[in-house]
Amino acid sequence: MNDHIKQLGERIESRSAVVGVIGLGYVGLPLASALHSGGVRVIGFDVDPAKIKALNEGTNYLSHLGHDMVKELAESDRFDVTTDFVRLREADAVLVCVPTPLKGNREPDLSYVVTTGRDIGMALRPGQLIVLESTTYPGTTRREFLDAIYEGAKAVGTTLESGEDFLVAFSPEREDPGRKSHATATIPKLVGGLDETATDLAAKLYRIGIKEIVPVSLAEVAEAAKILENVYRAVNIALVNEMKVILSDMGIDVFEVIRAAATKPFGFQAFWPGPGLGGHCIPIDPYYLAWRAKEIGHDAKFIELAGEINHAMPAYVVEKTARALEERSLAAKRAGVLVLGLAYKPDVDDVRESPSFELIELLRERVARVDYSDPHIGATWKMRHYDLGLTSVEITPETLASYDAVVISTNHSAFDYEMIAEHSKLVVDTRDAMRLYAPKMGDRLVRA
């Protein structure tokens, strides 16, 4: 072990290490806060000047994190933020939390990871620990990410070796925004280095702000474990969505069935059907593995099938809604429909990959008018795929009664379900939100 790496270890042990966090979004910001709370100095990096300005002013842009976290960071003399990536040289450890989306053809888009790798390479100095956190397929850290670091270093005439002069590891983020039971500091963190020293020092670094660290033998194991977690969810959600479609035609309530099955104390974990998949992870990450599997000659059949079933859910809900309207002798094409919930899950304002958008677009092809109500999202904006141009409708007895159907896409706890039950002409419930009111609603309630 050379002196630079030895010193890095000592700086981590003594908490005098400086930590750089690149990408201050849903993952990077709470991570920066957790490590800052552990006592180290943290520098946040982002390409978005609006985020840097907000953090300097102590303004929170991710509401689920609460205002106190950002205020505490803004007031601390151990935290600062910048768009100047030359300052990466100041950091002993650099943690990378940039997006890993899909391209239009569902292929991995590693451009953010590669650009960031190059930025790191251009500022690289001996004795740095670089950790990729962005979800990706196994092998990315060792190939694409490390290559990008070398490329950046070469561009500025730096010749340093991974494992000798600097260390590289992968540690997946398991953040679940909005979940009250766990936060960054209490979710066990997997760490796998490109070599043993990298694993060891990365584990020590994360222990500063995170309770439980789980070292694994290789970066590839950590990368694959994260993808397995998300494939497991995608596949199980597809399974219950398929069960929903089948059981519905048998006149059986899938939610009651799942609750019944979940009384078995072992061997069964409950997953819940819904209007489709949402969020940054589950609809995207499995395709990273599927793509890589194809590259080495395998079809990831479970992933493809789960994707197919989950992606078909918005159309299923729309079909059920149209049918329910027709059964009430209402021509669907003259109907007004109110969609409740635009966020992809309850009680957050996160709309990434939310199935509500597709639901609204598909409904627009079938009915006369579609509006939405979401207490967390006042109006829609132009996005990559959607530009709905809608403003949230306030739920009152009068507004509810003015629509021919109300479709519950997201079961926010702020919705007044009793009022919805009482004043809606027809409720199409994709989330089992109306269970309590089912007896009194009779055939005004349809499950989809």
Please give the positions annotated as active site: 281
Region 96-125 residues binding ligand NAD, contact defined as CB under 6 A = 97-100, 112, 115-116
Residue 51 or 244 with smaller CB distance to ligand NAD? 51
Minimum CB–partner distance for residue 111 and ligand NAD (Å): 8
Residue from 11, 41, 51, 244 touching ligand NAD (CB under 6 A): that is: 51
Does residue 135 bind ligand NAD (CB under 6 A)?
Answer: yes
Give the nearer residue to ligand NAD in terms of CB position, either 134 or 409. Answer: 134
Binding mask 153-192 for ligand NAD (x = CB under 6 A): --------------------xxx-x---------------
Number of residues that bind ligand NAD (CB under 6 A): 27
Chosen residue from 17, 26, 44, 222 binding ligand NAD by CB under 6 A? 26
Candidate residues 25, 30, 117, 138; the one interacting with ligand NAD per rule CB under 6 A: 25
Q: Within 286-345, which residues bind ligand NAD (CB under 6 A)?
A: none
Indicate which single residue of 21, 281, 342, 362 sits in contact with ligand NAD (rule: CB under 6 A): 281
Q: Which residues of 240-278 are buried (b: 16+ CB within 10 A; e: fewer)?
A: bbbbbbebbeeeebbbeebeeeeeeeeeeeebbbbbbbb
Q: CA-CA distances (angstroms) from residue 22 to 19, 26, 310?
A: 10, 12, 32
CB of 45 to ligand NAD, least distance (A): 6
| Closest CB to ligand NAD among residues 98, 313 | 98
Assess 84 for contact with ligand NAD (CB under 6 A): no
To ligand NAD, the closest distance from the beta carbon of 134 in angstroms equals: 3
CA 59 from centre of chain: 22
In the block, which residue shows the tokens 């997006």?
A: 99
> In the complex with ligand NAD, which residue's Cβ is closer, 88 or 362?
88
**Contact predicate 117/193, CB 8 Å:** no
CA gap 159, 341 in Å, rounded? 53
| Cα-based distances in Å from 333 to 230, 266, 367 | 38, 48, 4
- CB closer to ligand NAD out of 99 and 163: 99
Neighbour count for residue 114 (Cβ, 10 Å): 19
Min dist CB 226 to ligand NAD, Å, is 7
> In this chain, which of 33, 128, 134, 140 binds ligand NAD, going by CB under 6 A?
134
The residue (of 133 and 374) whose beta carbon lies closer to ligand NAD is 133
Query: Please, what is the minimum distance in Å from the beta carbon of residue 270 to ligand NAD?
Result: 21
Residue nearest to ligand NAD (CB): 25
CB of 19 to ligand NAD, least distance (A): 15
Shortest Å distance, C-beta 276 to ligand NAD: 17
Show Cβ contacts of residue 161 under 8 Å, excluding neighbours closer than 6 positions: none
Per-residue binding string, ligand NAD, 27-46, x by CB under 6 A, is xx----------------xx
Query: In this complex, which beta carbon is closest to ligand NAD, that of residue 224 or of residue 332?
Result: 224
Q: Closer CB to ligand NAD, residue 345 or residue 423?
A: 345
| Beta carbon of residue 97, minimum distance to ligand NAD (angstroms, whole number) | 5
Report yes or no: 240 and 273 within 8 Å, Cβ to Cβ: yes
Residues forming the site for ligand NAD (CB under 6 A): 22-28, 45-48, 51, 97-100, 112, 115-116, 134-135, 173-175, 177, 280-281
